[in-house]
Chains A and B, each alone.
Chain A
Amino acid sequence: MATTQPPATRDDPGKAELPPGAVPVVDVAGASPVRHPLRWLAVLLLAVLAAQLFHFLITNPHFEWSTVGAYFGAQVIGQGIATTVELTAIAMLIGIAGGVLVAVGRMSENRVLSTVCGAYVWFFRGIPVLVQLVFWYNLSALLPRISFGVPFGPEFISGHTNTLITPWLAAILGLGLNEAAYMAEIVRGGLLGVDQGQTEAAAALGMGRARILRRVVLPQAMRFIIPPTGSQVINMLKATSLVSVLALADLLYTVQSIYNRTFETIPLLIVACLWYLVMTSVLYVGQSFIERYYARGATRHAPQGFWNFALFRRRPDAPSPAADSPLAKEET
C-alpha cells in the first residue's frame, strides 16, 4: 500500500500535496451530526395529530368529563375494581401453581404423565376463554349433581351443580385452568432454559430432586419466567372483563349496569378504561422490579433497590453509553 497512491489522495485533489502513504491530520471531535429531515417531518405530523386529539378530547361534549369525574372515585366502581383484582389474583395463583405442576409433569420421565399434561395444555389453550367460562357456568346442564367419593363407590359429599358452581367459581375455574395451560408452557420454557450443569452440580452435592428444583433450577428459571408471566398477569386483568357475561360484578359489568340505567355509556366506559390503565401501569412497574430482583447474579452489577428503581434513579454502577466512550472518561 505504501508504494501505491492512497485512494483518498486520488478522490480529493485538494489533498494531493500530501506525500504518498501519509494521512491528513483530522480531529473528529465536534463533527456536525447527520441531519434527519424526515424525522422532523414525522414529529411535525405527530404534533398536529396530537393537537387534534387534544382538541377532540376537550371540545367533544359526548365525553361528559364531569360524569367521568363523578364516577371515577365512586364506591360502586371501587367494588367492581376489587372484584376484578380479586379474580385476577386468584386465577393467576391457580394458573401459576397449576402451570408449575403441569410443566413438571410434562417434563417427567413418566410417559403417561407427560402425555396427560401435554393433552391438558392442548385442550385448554385450544378453546377460547370466553367459551370455557360459559361452559363452566352452564355445567349443571351436563352434570346436574356433583359428588365426591370413592370412584364407582360410595359418595361422601354431593350437591347440586348450580349451588356449587357459582358465577364466581365458574369465573375462577375458567380463567384459572386456562391460565394454567399457558403458564405451563412458560414455566417449561424457563426450566429448559437453565443449564443442565446446574442440576448435575446440585445432584453431586447430594441434593434431592425437589430441593434442586426449588433451590437451584426454579430461582434461575424465574429470569425466563417472570417477563412473560408479567404480561400474563396484565392479560388476565383484562381477561377478567369477560366474566361480565356471567353477570359477575367486575369493573366492566359494574359500569355496564350503571350505564344501562343512566345511558351515560361513553363516560362510564372511559372510567373503566382509565381504571384498567391505572391497574396495568401498576402491574408493569411491579413486574420490572421483580425482573430486576431475579436478575441478581446474572450480570456483574448488583440488583437495584426498589426506591431507586421506582423513582427512575440510575443505578450508580450502571454502564451508561456515555461512560463507555473514552471522551467521557477524560472528563471525569
Chain B
Amino acid sequence: MTAQDTQEATGPETAVPEATAAEATAGATGATGSAGEVPMVVAQRVRKRFGQLEVLRGIDLKVRQGEVVVLLGPSGSGKSTFLRCINHLEQIDAGSIHVEGRLIGFRRSGGRVHHLRPREVTRQRRDIGMVFQHFNLFPHQTVLENVVEAPVGVLGLSKAEARKTAMELLTRVGLAEKAASYPRQLSGGQQQRVAIARALAMRPKLMLFDEPTSALDPELVGEVLATMRDLARDGLTMLVVTHEIGFAKEVADRVVFMDGGQVLETGTPQEVLDSPANPRTRAFLSRFL
C-alpha cells in the first residue's frame, strides 16, 4: 500500500468538511469493511507546529481494534509528536483525532468545535496507555505503588483490589519479586517493564509506545520487546514508535513510514520493509541493513 492508497482508504472522511467528523468516523468504519466496528484511532489531516517548525503536515492514519501498528521514520519525522497528540499531551493545530469514535481534546456542539476542559481531557486519557522512552516511573514510589497509583487515585479502585491486579501485572512482566523495590534500584529494562505494567493497570484499550527501547542498553532491549510481543498476542491495540525493524517485521500488522511530518508509506511489514515503494523509505531502511 502506498501513500496514495492511504489517501484512498481514508478518502470518504478526508473529503467531507470537518463539521461532519462524526459521519466521517462512520465512513471510516465502512472503509475498514468490518461493519459495526469503530476504528480505534482515526487521525484526519493532523497538523502541528512548534513555533516556525511544522512538525506534522497532515497526518492521516487509521488503526483498527486489535491492530499493532509500528511507526517508523528518521528522527524529527514527527512520529513521537503524532503519538503524543493521540492522548493530547500535545494539542493539534488542525485536523482531528478520534479514539474509539470520540474526538480527542475537543468537542463539537452547535456546529462549532470547542476546546475540552482539562478535566475532560484527563478523562479521555484513562483509556489510552502510554509508555515513554525514559520510562518516567515515579522515583519516590515503590514499583507496586507506581502500578497502584492511578487505579486507586483515578479509577477509585480499592487498595486491595488494585494491589491484586498490580501483582498480576507485575507477574506478567516478570517482576513480581521487585514489587517493593524503588525504580532506581532496577535496570532500564526492568523499569520499562514496570512502566508497561503501570500503563496496563488502567486497563487501556489502546497503548502508545514512544520509543520504548531507545534508552536501553542493547542487551536489555529483548526483554521489553518480549513483553510487548506478549501484549500484541493478547490482542491489545498498539501504536509503537520504534527503530526496532525486527520487532516491526515480526509483530506489526501494519507498518507506517513517516518523514517530514507526513505519512509516506503504509502497508504490511512485508510490503513496507521488504519492498518499499517510496525512495525515502528505501533510503531509511538501508541504514538498518
Chain A residues in 8 Å Cβ range of B132: 197, 200-201, 204
Chain B positions 193 through 218: 1 when the CB is less than 8 Å from some CB of chain A, otherwise 0? 00100110010000000000000000
A297 contacts B140, C-beta separation under 8 Å: yes
- List the A side residues contacting B202 at CB < 8 Å: 205-206
Binary interface encoding of chain A residues 187-198 relative to chain B, with 1 for a CB under 8 A from any of its CBs, else 0: 000000001011
State how many angstroms separate the Cβ of B211 from the closest Cβ of chain A. 13
Q: Report the stretch among B5-13, B35-43, B95-103, B117-125 that lies at the interface.
A: B117-125
A211 within 8 A of B: yes
Chain A, residues 256-298, CB within 8 Å of chain B (1/0): the string is 0000000000000000000000000000000000000010111
**Contacts A215-B149, A215-B153, A297-B182 given: A204-B139 contact, CB under 8 Å?**
no
Known: A198-B136, A206-B126. A300 touches B185 (CB 8 A): yes
Does the CB pair B130–A198 fall under 8 Å? no
Q: Are B89 and A207 in contact (CB under 8 A)?
A: no
Q: Give the complex CA separation of A203 and B119 in angstroms.
A: 11
Contacts of B118 in A (CB 8 A): 208-209
- List chain B residues, Cβ under 8 A from A209: 118, 122
A300 shortest CB reach to chain B, Å: 5
In the complex, A211→B154 CA distance in Å?
9
Q: Which residue of A lies closest to B142 (CB)?
A: A297
State how many angstroms separate the Cβ of B197 from the closest Cβ of chain A. Answer: 12
Write the A284-323 contact mask toward B (1 if CB under 8 angstroms, else 0).
0000000000101111100000000000000000000000
Q: Contact at B153–A204, with CB atoms within 8 Å?
A: no
Nearest A residue to B195 via CB reads A201
Report the minimum CB–CB distance from B204 to chain A (whole Å): 9
List of A residues within 8 angstroms of B142 by Cβ: 297
Per-residue CB contact flags for chain B residues 143-167 toward chain A (1 = under 8 Å, else 0) read 0000001100110000000000000
Q: Is the interface of A mostly helix, strand, loop or mixed?
A: helix
Q: Are A297 and B125 in contact (CB under 8 A)?
A: no
Contact pick for B154, options A205, A294, A296, CB 8 Å: A205
A296 x B140 contact (CB < 8 A) = yes
Cα A203 to Cα B121 in complex, Å, equals: 9
In the complex, how many residues of chain B place their beta carbon closer than 8 angstroms to a beta carbon of chain A? Answer: 32
User: With an 8 A cutoff between CB atoms, is A68 at the interface?
Assistant: no
Task: Please give the distance in Å from B230's CB to the nearest CB on chain A.
Answer: 21
Residues of A within 8 Å of B267, CB to CB, are: none
Answer yes or no: A228 CB below 8 A from chain B CBs: no
Q: Which of B126, B139, B198 contacts A298 (CB 8 A)?
A: B139
Cα separation A198 to B118 with both chains bound (whole Å) = 18
- B136 near A297: Cβ-Cβ < 8 Å: no
A203 x B125 contact (CB < 8 A): yes
Structural contact, A205 and B150, CB atoms closer than 8 A:
yes
- Complex alpha-carbon distance, A314 and B88, angstroms: 48
Chain B residues whose C-beta falls within 8 Å of the C-beta of A203 in the assembled complex: 89, 122, 125
Complex CA distance for A146 and B132, rounded to whole angstroms? 55
B184 touches A299 (CB 8 A): yes
A220 to B154, CA, bound (A): 20
Q: Contacts A197-B136, A215-B149, A300-B184; is A204 near B87 (CB within 8 Å)?
A: yes
Interface residues of B (CB under 8 A from A): 87, 89, 118-119, 122-123, 125-126, 128-130, 132, 134, 136-142, 149-150, 153-154, 182-185, 195, 198-199, 202
Other than A195-B136, A205-B126, A220-B138, give 5 A-B pairs with Cβ distance below 8 A: A204-B89, A220-B139, A298-B139, A299-B184, A300-B182
A contacts, CB < 8 Å to B: 195, 197-198, 200-209, 211, 215-216, 219-220, 294, 296-300
Q: List 16 A-B contacts (CB under 8 A).
A: A201-B132, A204-B125, A204-B128, A204-B129, A205-B150, A206-B122, A207-B150, A207-B154, A208-B118, A209-B122, A211-B153, A211-B154, A297-B139, A297-B140, A298-B139, A299-B184
Complex A-B, nearest 10 residue pairs according to Cβ-Cβ distance, in ascending order = A201-B136, A206-B126, A205-B150, A204-B130, A297-B182, A197-B136, A297-B139, A206-B125, A206-B154, A297-B140
